[in-house]
Amino acid sequence: MRLMPLLSSSRLTIRSFSTNDLDAAVAVFDIGYSDHTNTTAEAIVKRHAWLDYIIANEQQLANLDQPPYGERAIVDNATHQIIGAIGFVPCIDQFGLVGIGHNDGYSHAEVGLFWTIIPAQRRRGYASEAACMMRDYAVGTLGLRRIIATTQHDNIASQGVMRSTGMDIRTNPHEQPHWLQVVGVYEPQRRLELLLNGMTMRPITLSDLPALLLLWQMAGLKISPTDTITGLRRHIGVTGHLALALCTPDGSIVGSVLASDDGRRGWINHLAVHPDVQGHGLGRTLINTISARLKAQGCEKINLLINGPNKKVVPFYQTHGFGFDDIIYMTKWIGSDV
């Protein structure tokens, strides 16, 4: 069985709800919310049914070796009182709109993180602490590559909790669907990496596009019609941890690489280093980092293409083990606007 264990810190314990937690569950979910229209008696009846479901659901999911979805109690260790709830929930939506997966109009499933704290116990860091405990369990024990959380544009408190857990905050640039507004994304593979020379290697974001276009132009790369916000959003969504920016200590982007994995082989694109800092091993850092990531995904071969006017970079790639293939390269543009 896949029963979720107790999670504990110095202040909090996350545990399953029990039949003795009815009053606490009502306090957490039903009391003190301005949009709640039920009376206390009505809330107790409905919450009692919910509690029976939560307890049975946990056991049934464990019996079937399914993910431990469902709400769990957040307990204050000092008072032994339930002060909130937290849990994993299945989320299905058009997450491609915020750069998670293909932006093709289809919905897909993600593991979401939900939390709530009773009003009297807010602003004490409990939500952030509990969320970090669940994050570590999701990644360390369940082995999840990614967890998300969703909220509204004006829910600054929830966005603060997302940031405190290390989530990347993404917003839906479209008005629809109206319920998909802000998404927090935690992906360990996309964390910032501090290098020995004081520089950082970090995931590329949509806001980097103007700086990237300037870098690519100065490095002699050909700007493609797909080098747009739409194109970058799709790339980040599909292989975001393979889109990297190399930055100086002040945050300026001086290097980049966009890579992908087609299921058999890895591809490297837009590997560039600013002319002012070329010759200092930054290109080697980029090629070694992205090669290691592609190898870790199971790629046995890496392909790359060099535009004719940029032939001067051929010796660089040869020193890193790349050679020529006897192939004919063909392309076909299928977009309506290219």
Domains and CATH numbers, the chain: 7-189 (3.40.630.30), 193-319 (3.40.630.30)
pLDDT the model gives residue 105? 84
pLDDT the model gives residue 39? 60
Question: What is this structure's pTM?
Answer: 0.71
pLDDT the model gives residue 194? 80
* Residue 104: Cβ-neighbour burial (10 angstroms; 0-12, 13-18, 19+): exposed
pLDDT the model gives residue 337? 57
Residue pair 180/152 in contact (Cβ under 8 Å)? The answer is no
Residue pair 169/187 in contact (Cβ under 8 Å)? The answer is no
List alpha helices for 229-332, DSSP H. Answer: 229-239, 282-296, 314-319
Residue pair 202/255 in contact (Cβ under 8 Å)? The answer is no
Measuring CA to CA, which residue among 137, 222, 235, 237 is closest to residue 185? Answer: 237
CA angle 186, 191, 197 (to 5 degrees): 170
pLDDT the model gives residue 297? 87
First-to-last C-alpha distance (Å) of the chain: 53
**Two tokens, residue 136:** 């570590």
pLDDT along the chain (338 residues), means of 10: 92 97 93 57 90 96 95 98 98 90 86 97 97 97 95 96 93 91 89 82 89 95 91 82 92 96 93 95 95 92 90 92 90 73
